[in-house]
Structure formats: C-alpha cells, structure tokens
C-alpha cells in the first residue's frame, strides 16, 4: 500500500512517501532554524563522557593535562597517532617548544601519561610516535586493530 501526500485544496497527489521518509511539522522546522552550523572545515575530537571522572581521579598536573590535550587535538583518523595537520609527527622537542615547558617537564609528563594509560610512545618506521588511548579520546568512528590491542586491557577499555 503506497503512502502519498495529497494537496487538500486540489486533491492532486503531490508525492509518494518512501520507506524512511518522515513528515516534519512546521514547528519542528522553525525550531531547527534556531541552531547554527558548526564552523566549516573544523574537525571534531571525541572525548568520552564516562572517562572524564577517571581523568580527574588521575590527579594530573596542569602540564600533564595540557600535554594530553595537545596530543588529543592533533590525532589522526584510525591510528590515533598524534601528528600536526601537515602530517609531521609530534615529538618531545615539539611538545617542549609548542607548550613552552622544560625538557624535564616533558619527560616527567610523558612518563606520567604513559603510567596512567592515556598514551603510549611507540617506535615506528616514521620515528617515535605518541598514540593516544582510543577508549578515552578519538577521531572518527573506527580505530585499527593494532591501536585497539595496545589499549584493550587498560582500565579505560569498556568493551
């Protein structure tokens, strides 16, 4: 049985409703106009709600938290590796200059972030990379199996 839209004044069939089509009331459309679109070209990083209290419980120092957030906003899709938008790896030296902190602060902060399971530092063909725990923060819908396996036994994993 077909579902159709009829003009009540003329009786003319306007269109046929297909599976998945919905009728939206004018009030809903008007309410929709109250929203603004996100800025064009912006990317989104997901920070899972359930992990926020766990991050607080880690009692990270300000430098540790800032370093973690700096890595988190520079993630690559699928790999969760911290890289700049131009594809260049983020190194310890970059963290030192970007965040204007000392070498010992970078060393201590990285050690602590690794210890609490928020990141790992791994050697790859490209060089040493920081991989952020995808159970805490990620970009996109999927992560590769290697990254999943790096963190699946961490306290942050929920599935």
Neighbouring residues of 128: CB distance < 8 A, sequence distance ≥ 6: 89, 91, 92, 121, 122
The tens digit of pLDDT for each residue in 20-57 reads 887 777 777 777 677 666 677 777 888 888 899 999 99
pTM of the model: 0.74
Determine, yes or no, domain membership for 156: no
Q: Quote the domain boundaries for residue 133.
A: 46-151
Are 132 and 150 a contacting pair, CB within 8 Å? Answer: no
Same domain? For 16 and 62 the reply is: no
H-run or E-run covering 124:
none
Q: How many domains does the chain have?
A: 2
The C-alpha atoms of residue 71 and residue 28 are separated, in whole angstroms, by: 40
Question: What confidence category does residue 5 fall into, taking pLDDT thresholds of 50, 70 and 90?
Answer: confident
pLDDT in tens, 51-100: 999 999 999 999 999 999 999 999 998 899 999 999 999 999 999 999 99
């Amino acid at each position: 049985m077909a579902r159709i839209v009829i003009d009540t004044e003329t009786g003319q069939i306007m269109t046929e409703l297909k599976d998945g089509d919905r009728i939206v009331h004018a009030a809903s459309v008007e309410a929709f106009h109250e929203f603004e679109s996100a800025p064009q070209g912006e990317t989104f990083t997901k920070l899972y709600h359930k992990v926020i209290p766990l991050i607080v419980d880690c009692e990270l120092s300000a430098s540790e938290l800032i370093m973690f957030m700096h890595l988190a906003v520079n993630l690559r899709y699928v790999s969760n590796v911290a890289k700049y938008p131009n594809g260049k790896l983020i190194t310890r030296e970059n963290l030192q200059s970007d965040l204007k902190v000392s070498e010992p602060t970078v060393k201590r902060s990285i050690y602590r972030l690794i210890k609490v399971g928020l990141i790992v530092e791994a050697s790859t063909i490209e060089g040493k990379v920081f991989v952020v725990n995808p159970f805490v923060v990620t970009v996109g819908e999927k992560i590769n199996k290697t990254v999943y396996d790096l963190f699946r036994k961490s306290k942050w994993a929920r599935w």
